[in-house]
């Protein structure tokens, strides 16, 4: 066992006391049930403070979320508990990004998280920053299937280290195979229960985060890694094995090895705490094969999941109760201590982003599944700024709606939190059709476009759904070159769109998409983009 592993595997009950309790229970012939409560968050994305619930149609000004609200709930718990997070904790919000994650580090430490999984957005600021954060948090960041891509030169030493680890009875990767910031697992002792925690990240990380930030890494299949580590934790005497998963929950029509697949194919996992897909599971799911419990708690700290486990005398799960607690401020309140810690960060960001840049005549909503007023506006802003024939924006880069009324810099930042720049390149009509067919087949959502009009038939096989594609009202010419604007994430092959990598005369403008959108809002205010049928199904 490594020094790092020993440091994290803390024992909370002295051996003598544990032995005394066991003797007493045995002599009386009674082994009492035990209760463990797990509080679970995922995909917080740096939303440290309460915010207006713009998604709430009846009262969009109602406040929800934030670490102070989370603390108000967790601190009332009377049973032994663990507070755990399943990744994407630090970035993709103004408070997260503008403090380089520092605000989240401070608050997460104050709340007493026991562990957190590494999500794909933990790489938003690069590996170096993630490494710095890992040293500052008072809990381990778990990522069992995050490995370094070793050069040929380092291969023999890695093999030797792996052999030494195996000889010592360890199944973990050799130290030089895994980044220092990624701990594969940790063991926590809670009220006499030995709880093993494993962290797993989506193997699609190279395509769903900025590719250049993870080029030195590889992300093997979670199932293969989990099987070894579950066996290791059982060998070490763990009563419970819990996976902090940033893999996701596949909805109908999606095809990937999600949390349900993990539960079905890896025996010995008691609970999977999910993340990545921003899924709000109102009721826990239990796998039929191995009785693994799966929960996921939405996103942006709008809610916290509470899972109460009752274990019998043999420390086996006897029953469980799960519910989502919505963090409405007028219902749960806010913990004053945490509120005080969060206030300086919020005030500083508020002051920087309070400026009004324009007005929206109506609510501007995104839509991953087709055309949207917000997607149209962002794509139009990109094409206008780049003076391009076409603009393409991935729907996953549009993170928040903009409500009707004054548009502030904060709202723009919440909508476009990633520091993507506008990149232009020349693509042929054939390559553009290739990208469009890919987006029509992709479960990540449909590309938001400007300058293009397309029709498609969703009943057709993938790769053959496009029925009509026009530029400026004219059919696209497969051999003609067009000037295409996109964001730097897509230009680098993000979301798996490798066609962008083949673009000619590629130029990075250095202009942030967010800034271009601000220019657009100021120019067009009051903004009233419509739905003009640029994406239509048959």
pLDDT digits (tens, 9 = 90+) for 288-300: 999 999 999 999 9
- Mean pLDDT, rounded, of the chain: 91
Spell out where 80-155 has E strands: 81-85, 115-117, 141-142, 147-148
Are both 328 and 381 inside the same structural domain? no
Are both 306 and 421 inside the same structural domain? no
**C-alpha to C-alpha distance for 524 and 518, rounded to whole angstroms:** 10
Are both 393 and 302 inside the same structural domain? no
Domain count, the chain: 2
The domain that holds 369 is classified in CATH as: 3.90.780.10
Q: Would residue 268 be called left, alpha or beta, if left means φ above 0 and alpha means ψ between -120 and 50 degrees?
A: left
Are both 407 and 294 inside the same structural domain? no
For residue 22, pLDDT over 70 is answered with no
193 within domain boundaries: yes
For residue 58, pLDDT over 90 is answered with no
Please give the average per-residue pLDDT across 372-383, as a whole number: 97
**pLDDT at residue number 1:** 53
174 within domain boundaries: no
Are both 485 and 449 inside the same structural domain? yes
Confidence of residue 5 (pLDDT cuts 50, 70, 90): low
Confidence of residue 68 (pLDDT cuts 50, 70, 90): very high
Are both 315 and 417 inside the same structural domain? no
496 within domain boundaries: yes
Determine if the peptide bond prior to 526 is cis (ω within 30°): yes
170 within domain boundaries: no
**pLDDT at residue number 254:** 83
151 within domain boundaries: no
Which domain-ending residue is among 299, 318, 347?
Answer: 347
**pLDDT at residue number 54:** 80
**pLDDT at residue number 159:** 43
Taking only the tens place, the pLDDT of each residue in 104-151 is 999 999 999 999 999 999 999 999 999 999 999 999 999 999 999 974
For residue 25, pLDDT over 70 is answered with no
Are both 366 and 302 inside the same structural domain? no
**pLDDT at residue number 8:** 57
**pLDDT at residue number 150:** 74
Q: Is 368 exposed, middle or buried (0-12, 13-18, 19+ CB in 10 A)?
A: middle
The domain that holds 259 is classified in CATH as: 3.60.21.10
**pLDDT at residue number 136:** 99
**pLDDT at residue number 444:** 80
Are both 270 and 386 inside the same structural domain? no
- The boundaries of the domain holding residue 86 are 3-146+182-347
Are both 334 and 363 inside the same structural domain? no
Asked if 105 and 134 touch (Cβ cutoff 8 Å), the reply is no
For residue 515, pLDDT over 60 is answered with yes
């Amino acid at each position: 066992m490594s020094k790092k592993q020993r440091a994290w595997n803390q024992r909370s009950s002295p051996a003598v006391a544990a032995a005394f309790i066991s003797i007493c229970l045995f002599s009386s012939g009674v082994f009492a049930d035990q209760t463990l409560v797990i509080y679970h968050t995922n995909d917080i994305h740096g939303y440290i403070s309460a915010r207006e619930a713009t998604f709430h149609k009846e009262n969009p000004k109602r406040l929800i979320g934030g670490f102070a609200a989370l603390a108000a709930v967790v601190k009332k718990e009377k049973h032994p508990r663990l507070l755990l997070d399943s990744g994407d904790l630090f970035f993709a919000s103004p408070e997260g990004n503008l403090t380089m994650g520092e605000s989240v580090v401070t608050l997460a430490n104050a709340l007493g998280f026991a562990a957190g999984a590494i999500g794909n957005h933990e790489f938003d600021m690069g590996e170096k920053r993630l490494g710095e954060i890992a040293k500052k948090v008072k809990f381990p960041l778990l990522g069992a299937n995050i490995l370094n891509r070793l050069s040929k030169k380092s291969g023999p030493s890695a093999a030797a280290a792996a052999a030494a680890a195996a000889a010592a009875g360890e199944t973990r990767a050799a130290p030089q195979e895994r980044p220092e910031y990624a701990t594969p697992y940790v063991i926590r002792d809670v009220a006499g229960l030995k709880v093993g925690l494993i962290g797993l990240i989506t193997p699609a990380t190279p395509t769903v985060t900025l590719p250049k930030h993870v080029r030195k890494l590889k992300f093997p299949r979670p199932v293969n890694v989990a099987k070894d580590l579950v066996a290791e934790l059982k060998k070490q005497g763990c009563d419970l094995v819990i996976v902090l998963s940033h893999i996701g929950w596949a909805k109908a029509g999606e095809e990937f090895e999600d949390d349900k697949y993990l539960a079905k194919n890896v025996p010995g996992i008691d609970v999977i705490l999910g993340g990545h897909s921003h899924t709000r599971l109102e009721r826990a799911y239990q796998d039929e094969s191995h009785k693994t419990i799966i929960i996921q708690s939405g996103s942006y700290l709008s809610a916290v999941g509470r899972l109460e486990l009752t274990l019998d005398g043999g420390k086996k799960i006897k029953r469980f109760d799960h519910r989502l607690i919505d963090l409405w401020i007028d219902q749960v309140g806010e913990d004053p201590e945490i509120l005080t810690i969060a206030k300086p960060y919020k005030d500083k960001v508020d002051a920087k982003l309070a400026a009004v840049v324009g007005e929206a005549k109506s609510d501007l909503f995104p839509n991953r599944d087709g055309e949207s007023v917000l997607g149209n506006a962002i794509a139009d802003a990109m094409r206008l700024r780049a003076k391009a024939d076409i603009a393409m924006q991935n729907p996953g880069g549009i993170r928040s709606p903009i409500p009707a009324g004054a548009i502030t810099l904060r709202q723009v930042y919440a909508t476009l939190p990633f520091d993507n720049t506008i990149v232009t390149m020349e693509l042929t009509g054939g390559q553009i059709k290739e990208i469009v067919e890919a987006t029509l087949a992709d479960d990540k959502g449909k590309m938001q476009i400007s300058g293009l009009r397309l029709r498609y038939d969703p009943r057709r096989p993938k790769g053959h759904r496009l029925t009509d594609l026009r530029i400026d009202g004219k059919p696209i010419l497969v051999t003609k070159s067009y000037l295409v604007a996109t964001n730097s994430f897509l230009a680098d092959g993000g979301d798996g769109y490798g066609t962008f990598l083949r673009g000619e005369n590629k130029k990075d403008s250095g202009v942030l998409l967010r800034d271009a959108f601000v220019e657009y809002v100021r120019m067009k205010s009051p903004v009233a983009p419509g739905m003009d049928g640029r994406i239509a199904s048959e």
